[in-house]
Amino acid sequence: MKKNYGIQSVPRMSEEVTRQLIQYIAAEKLKPGSKLPTERQLSERLEVSRSSVREGIRALEILQYLESRQGEGTFVSKPPPYLIPLSIIRKEENLVELHKYYQVSLLHARQILSLGISNQISIDQLQVDQADFWSSFSSLVDFVGKQLLNNYYLEIWQLTNQLLESFDFYLHVTNRFEIDKILEAYNSLNYTALTDYIQQIEEAKIV
């Protein structure tokens, strides 16, 4: 009885290839322009078919991380994109790197809430859990973000926030914040108070 534990039942070969490729490039410190082993070599080393290797490469290619040219080979084209899905990264926690996501996340949270105020989006119907700041903050941003015309702010925020959560990053934020202060600033349309508080959040100590 082998069932779906958690995310994915059976890891896909092509996904494994993607992971290995990222790891390989990092380990070998390959710069943009560097050539990767041929598909056949990768196929042998990783002990998967060439089809699977190709699928793995194709995924990294749409992220503009790799580029393969017929008759030449496959090359590293850019530094690893910030948007590599959770399922692929799964490396050790890197607080320095995660802190960058934290900043990007808060930038968008601030933007979403600011626009929420200026567009007079009411949050009366929102239920928040006073006890857990980050979960209630997430609910707030999510709630407001979904009602904005520009959905990209929310998308980037969700992406970064999701990543931070999955790595339990918020546990490393030692400062205690209060969701009430944010809700109060929001409801009283106090833009400066809101941004100031988010500024404080951004400057929190990470341990």
Partner DNA sequence: GTCGATTTGTTCGTATGTATC
Partner DNA sequence: TGATACATACGAACAAATCGA
Residues that bind DNA (CB under 7 A): 2, 4, 9-10, 12-14, 36, 38-40, 43, 47-52, 54, 57, 68-74
Segment (H or E) for 67: strand 66-69
Closer CB to its own copies, 18 or 138, in the complex? 18
Cα–Cα–Cα angle for 117, 118, 120, rounded to 5 degrees: 65
Cα–Cα–Cα angle for 171, 174, 175, rounded to 5 degrees: 130
Segment (H or E) for 75: strand 73-76
**Residue 192 interacts with its own copies (CB under 8 A): yes or no:** no
Taking residue 6's Cβ as centre, other Cβ atoms within 10 Å add up to: 5
**Residue 48 binds which one of its own copies, DNA, none, with CB within 5 to 8 A depending on kind?**
DNA
Closer CB to DNA, 4 or 192, in the complex? 4
Contact 35, 74 (CB under 8 A): yes
**Residue 107 interacts with its own copies (CB under 8 A): yes or no:** yes
Q: Where are the alpha helices (DSSP H) in the chain?
A: 13-27, 39-45, 50-62, 86-89, 95-118, 133-145, 151-166, 179-187, 191-202
Q: What is the DSSP code (8-state) at residue 1?
A: -
Interface characters, 59-98, with its own copies (x: CB under 8 A): xxxxxx----xx--------x-xxx-x--x----------
Task: Tell me how far, at minimum, the Cβ of 129 lies from its own copies, in Å.
Answer: 26
111, 136, 138, 161: residue in contact with its own copies (rule CB under 8 A): 111
Amino acid at 110: R
Q: How many residues bind its own copies (CB under 8 A)?
A: 38
Task: Tell me how far, at minimum, the Cβ of 121 lies from its own copies, in Å.
Answer: 17
**Residue 100 interacts with its own copies (CB under 8 A): yes or no:** yes
Helix (H, G, I), strand (E, B) or coil at 68: strand
Interface residues toward its own copies, by CB under 8 A: 4, 9-10, 14, 18, 51, 54-56, 58-64, 69-70, 79, 81-83, 85, 88, 100-101, 103-104, 107-108, 111, 149-153, 155-156
